[in-house]
């Protein structure tokens, strides 16, 4: 399966989830993205994934990602990259083992793909 096929399938499943599809960026999130730029937002996503999702053991797993306060947090809930259990269920990455750099990059890319689609949706 190609990346495009996987993403199409993944985002279709996410969009069909009542919970996941309920998350959207607000005007203040869009303003923040426009002020900081997408590369800075991508850096924030990398940092959040590295610190909150990448370790093999996360003491507060399931509660480490707020639902608001940063566009990446909203995106993490929309894309099921918010905790290791959601990552296991939606992205087929098993918990209990530190995330590789490739896995971290994949999660960041999923987050940024969703953010870009929200920015595009907001601007149209």
Walk along the chain (124 residues) and give the pLDDT tens digit of each residue.
898 999 999 999 999 999 999 999 999 999 999 999 999 999 999 999 999 999 999 988 888 898 889 999 999 999 999 999 999 999 999 999 999 999 999 999 999 999 999 999 887 7
Which pLDDT score, from 0 to 100, does residue 124 have? 72
The residue range of the domain holding 67 is 3-123
What pTM value is reported for the model?
Answer: 0.94
Q: How many domains does the chain have?
A: 1
102's tokens:
């490739």
Which pLDDT score, from 0 to 100, does residue 59 have? 87
Q: Which long-range contacts (CB under 8 A, 24 or more apart) does 73-76 make?
A: 73/48, 74/23, 74/24, 74/25, 74/29, 75/23, 75/25, 75/45, 75/111, 75/112, 75/114, 75/115, 75/118, 76/48, 76/111
């Amino acid at each position: 399966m190609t990346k495009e096929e996987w993403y199409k399938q993944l985002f279709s499943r996410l969009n069909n989830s009542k919970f996941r599809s309920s998350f959207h960026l607000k005007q203040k999130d869009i303003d923040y993205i426009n002020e900081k730029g997408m590369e800075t937002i991508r850096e924030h996503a990398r940092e959040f994934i590295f610190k909150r999702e990448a370790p093999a053991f996360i003491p507060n797993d399931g509660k480490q990602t707020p639902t608001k306060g940063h566009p990446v947090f909203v995106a993490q809930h929309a894309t099921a990259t918010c905790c290791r259990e959601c990552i296991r269920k939606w992205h087929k990455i098993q918990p209990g083992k530190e995330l590789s750099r490739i896995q971290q990059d994949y999660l960041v890319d999923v987050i940024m793909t969703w953010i870009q689609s929200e920015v595009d949706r907001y601007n149209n």
